[in-house]
Amino acid sequence: MALLEIRHISKNFGGIKAIADFSLEAEAGQIHGIIGPNGAGKTTIFNTISGVYQADSGSVVLSGEDITRLPQYKITRLGIGRTFQNIRIFRGLTIEENVLCAFDPQSKYSVFGGLIPTPKRFKEEKRGRELARKYLEVVGMADKKDERPENLSYGNQRKVEIARALMCEPKVLLLDEPAAGLTPTEVMELTDLIKRISVEFGFAILLIEHRLDLVMSISDLIHVQNFGETIAVGTADEVQHNQAVIEAYLGAEQ
């Protein structure tokens, strides 16, 4: 059984077919690239998996559990973490606080427990800080934890966002254009980071990216979308030589 199974999902917005019959099976430790021109439906796939939108038809199954109709917070708790196309960093908070705000305490506090620092609350807060430090370490930003994010490069802001996505201790990580705005050196660092966390934590990673060099170099399988349809699925080599892909997408890049 695959860790994540997306079975024939479709999503329309009025007359627009944003996703038409999209399927994918991802095993733990695999990286799946999703590419395609603007408006091909890539982000809508992520929004449907993570519960921002409900699929019109089809289903999303995580570790054998159907999560298609669950609310976003439950999907996150079950192990789907994501980053967004636009960087979402809170400027008034430190780097560590930016990561910590994604912490989901396991203990329920009463109103009283929320106001008074009870031992249970202390314990949870400590666990949250430990997790935030662990994931800042993983992305190589531990030494900057007390800094404010406004002076960080895009590359480092992306790392903070990845650390924040890891706070839900995901099984599946959805990365939406993580290389947007990065310098070539930052793209190389990001590529190494994605590879490393995929091996270290055994996540299934779904990666939407316009930087084809990045996608081609790290994806086990690449799904090529065009106007909501999947026009090819294969290895980097296979999709690069696929005529429909060359015409619809790669051709437009040359």
CB atoms within 10 A of CB 143: 10
68 is a contact residue toward ligand ATP (CB under 6 A)? no
The CB-of-53 to ligand ATP minimum distance in angstroms stands at: 7
CA distance 198 to 120: 33
The answer to whether residue 90 forms part of the interface with ligand ATP (CB under 6 A) is no
SS (H, E, C) 58-105: EEEEECCEECCCCCHHHHHHHCEEEECCCCCCCCCCCHHHHHHCCCCC
Phi first, then psi, for residue 87 (nearest 5°) are: -60, 130
Distances (CA, A) of 179 to 74, 123, 220: 28, 36, 18
For residue 6, state whether it binds ligand ATP (rule: CB under 6 A): no
- Angle ∠(188,193,196) on CA atoms, nearest 5: 125
Residue 224 to residue 116: CA distance in whole angstroms: 53
Nearer to ligand ATP, 57 or 185 (CB): 57
Site size for ligand ATP, by CB under 6 A?
A: 12
Based on CB atoms, which residue is closest to ligand ATP, 16 or 115? 16
Stretch that binds ligand ATP, among 41-49, 102-110, 123-131, 245-253 (CB under 6 A): 41-49
Interface residue with ligand ATP, options 24, 40, 179, 190 (CB under 6 A): 40
> Pick from 1, 162, 169: which is nearest to 78 by CA?
169
39: contact with ligand ATP by CB under 6 A = yes
Question: Does 224 sit near ligand ATP (CB under 6 A)?
Answer: no
Bridge partners (DSSP) listed for residue 137: none
Quick one: which of 18, 99, 174, 218 contacts ligand ATP (CB under 6 A)?
18
**Per CB under 6 A, 155 contacts ligand ATP:** no
Please pick, from the candidates 30, 43, 157, 219, the single residue that binds ligand ATP as defined by CB under 6 A. 43
Q: Which is nearer to ligand ATP, 18 or 141 (CB)?
A: 18
Where along the sequence are the contacts to ligand ATP (CB under 6 A)?
A: 13, 16, 18, 36, 38-44, 85
